[in-house]
Structure 1
């Protein structure tokens, strides 16, 4: 496959987003994007759909809205609404977060409103945590995006909804050896490779391996500047998926206990810009490779809540910032560190669930 192209060199059609020009302007302000665009500018197509602007938009969006599944546990209906209307209310108006279908779904709708040619895809997450463990791909429970900036069919992968060690910037859809991009800091790097889905029942007895019908993209991550083994985050194709698919998948996650990742724990991840001493610290943690193809003037840290602790991640350094014993503790941490409007009384909704702490 040619570097940066969809199957067959396909072009993405321009599609209208679900949001009005006024809502798009509200979102631009909400994520802190430096602009002077009016609703009329948006309607007239004045926004420049460049790769540089796409990178800035996705970075601001990533920092503005935390990755979280709080609605599953601390809200009465235990449901994460990922409809366009629900996302606008929850994220832009109420200032809360969501998980992949919500965070990526809102960004997709907004950049389409700005004039970008883009669509959504789906991925299978690898549940194996150790790079040396056998790959354990699950169902299609993750969303990714494909974007063609400007007037070209060169395609970029965008994902602001993975949490943890996911992409921190657009990445060219290419498995070229030099296509390695920085994550939040120089210690974290991503690459794409092409491999056959390991549980596939299909084989080729003639022809090239590149013709295999289950050949898919894999996103890999490595920490400490690529010194550790690459770990598979997820696998995906460039097939298009739609709002109805994401809403069905989200409903499945919210109602099926066998999908234990979100049932077993309350998760929250918030990104923040490193400055001062911490920004200098991550520059010295590893040696930055000249092969890294995309650079960014700001490095990011993460606040992560999972299980019974919340930690601050600055490159390769982890610092526990709060220990959690009860749901009251967790609600306080969600408010104080992640800016989520959860009140003590919401603890009643998690009683009897596997994620409850008592």
Structure 2
């Protein structure tokens, strides 16, 4: 296990850790990795607002850093996992980028490869890390090993092997197991995501161009937006509302997601 590096960090890394509210150990352990992922999911929202506003996305780390850390915005998988992967590398983790197929709610399986996930080495094991999904996904890393049921609060996940699609992340729902997403162990370069994100931003049948999709985990549950409807999940209840004016909409974005649109 590595020594704690908290006293020897770049200013950009310190600012990123402050952005996600993480003040735990930085010793390269699996526990620290889990803390970083969970903190990220509670601080940085998943959102596609720039796509809806016609603002081209950049996957260059300096521009992602400006958007997510400096301007305190969110993003979607190709943005969030690219920058989170950069943070983990800066903290000394070995990170490999993969492309994934998102199966949940897929109307026409098999799905396209349009999701970015990370494999991270810690304490001699490989862990699946992902901070780039708007729906309910693992809040902590999932060990990349076949058939192990991994409980996370009231959620449970396991990885299976598929002869064609590779690793298949499954979630337990209603007493059974459902496919969430799959990935093969083919390392990807940053440029390998350019075509996929271009399709997501511009294709007529891309789900990201239809309506707002915003989500963030909270201490009590999660906050989401679908279209114009805000849904605030806390405990066993949910509050829903639709802002009636643009000012109310922007105020709600700030209150529930910390998003301030330029």
Match of 1:102 in 2: 79
Cα offsets for 1:205-252 (capped at 9, x unmatched)? xxxxxxxxx2511111234xxx44322111111211121122332222
Distance 1:215 1:62 in 2: 27
Is the aligned partner of 1:69 residue 2:45?
Answer: no
Cα distance change on mapping 1:332 and 1:73 into 2, 3 Å:
farther
8 Å CA contact 1:80, 1:98 repeated in 2? no
Distance 1:110 1:257 in 2: 33
CA RMSD of aligned residues (A): 2.3
Q: Of the candidates 219, 239, 245, which is equivalent to residue 320 of structure 1?
A: 239
Matches within 5 A, 1:98-177: 98-126=75-103, 128=105, 136-150=109-123, 152=124, 154-176=125-147
Name the SS for the 2:17 alignment partner: helix
Is the aligned partner of 1:244 residue 2:191?
Answer: yes
Query: How far did 1:332 drift?
Result: 4.1
95-104 or 241-250, which moves further after superposition?
Answer: 241-250
Q: TM-score, normalised by structure 1?
A: 0.65
Cα distance change on mapping 1:195 and 1:135 into 2, 3 Å:
farther
Query: How far did 1:308 drift?
Result: 3.9
Match of 1:89 in 2: 66
Cα offsets for 1:178-204 (capped at 9, x unmatched)? 43231xx41x221211123xxxxxxxx
Distance 1:174 1:263 in 2: 35
Q: TM-score, normalised by structure 2?
A: 0.87
What stretches of structure 1 of length at least 5 have no aligned partner? 1-19, 37-46, 197-213, 275-300, 344-358
Q: Of the candidates 17, 22, 38, which is equivalent to residue 28 of structure 1?
A: 17
Distance 1:127 1:168 in 2: 17
Query: How far did 1:88 drift?
Result: 0.3
Cα distance change on mapping 1:236 and 1:135 into 2, 3 Å:
farther
Match of 2:29 in 1: 50
Match of 2:257 in 1: 338
Match of 1:194 in 2: 161
8 Å CA contact 2:28, 2:122 repeated in 1? yes
Larger Rg: 1
Cα offsets for 1:16-53 (capped at 9, x unmatched)? xxxx82211221122111159xxxxxxxxxx4111011
Cα distance change on mapping 1:318 and 1:138 into 2, 3 Å:
farther
Q: Of the candidates 291, 295, 303, which is equivalent to residue 223 of structure 2?
A: 303
115-124 or 242-251, which moves further after superposition?
Answer: 242-251
Cα distance change on mapping 1:242 and 1:181 into 2, 3 Å:
farther
Higher strand fraction: Structure 1 or Structure 2?
Answer: 2
Query: How far did 1:119 drift?
Result: 1.3
Query: How far did 1:162 drift?
Result: 1.2
Aligned length: 254
Distance 2:15 2:254 in 1: 24
Cα distance change on mapping 1:81 and 1:215 into 2, 3 Å:
closer
Match of 2:56 in 1: 79
Distance 2:85 2:237 in 1: 32
What stretches of structure 2 of length at least 5 have no aligned partner? 1-8
Cα offsets for 1:61-86 (capped at 9, x unmatched)? 11111000011123xx4322222111
